[in-house]
Amino acid sequence: MILTTTNTIEGFKVIEYKGIVSGTSSELKTKFSFKTEKNMEMIANVMTEAKEQAFQKLKDNATKLNANAVLGISVDVETVNGSYFFVSVTGTAVNVA
């Protein structure tokens, strides 16, 4: 599965547009203090995990449409009070050759 934020993939041609796909993920952790380096590392790990889950769901949804690529991916990361992280990824599922 090819994933890209661009609208084209060099060396490939879009054969069929399958539809818009998305993936979301949220992670709830205890409140962090942004004051220490250790806490900043923990926050980064939580956000990375949420992002990886969202991308996996995006790929799963594209696979259900029999797509082999997702173009124009947009990533949105939000947090509430530094304890709840929400990641949403959206793109266009396509077949390329």
Residue 62 sits in which domain range?
A: 2-96
Rounded CA-CA distance 93/16 in Å is 9
pTM: 0.86
Q: What is the pLDDT of residue 82?
A: 67
Q: Is 48 helix (H, G, I), strand (E, B) or coil?
A: helix
Task: Indicate the burial class of 50 (C-beta count within 10 angstroms; 0-12, 13-18, 19 or more).
Answer: buried
Q: What is the pLDDT of residue 8?
A: 96
Q: What is the pLDDT of residue 87?
A: 93
Sheet of strand 84-96: strand arrangement? 2-3, 69-80, 84-96, 14-28
Find, among 56, 48, 45, 69, the residue nearest to 23 by Cα: 56
Number of domains in the chain: 1
pLDDT per residue as tens, the chain (97 positions): 999 999 999 999 999 999 999 999 987 765 555 566 667 787 788 888 889 999 999 999 999 999 999 999 999 988 877 677 889 999 999 999 9
89: domain CATH number is: 3.30.110.70
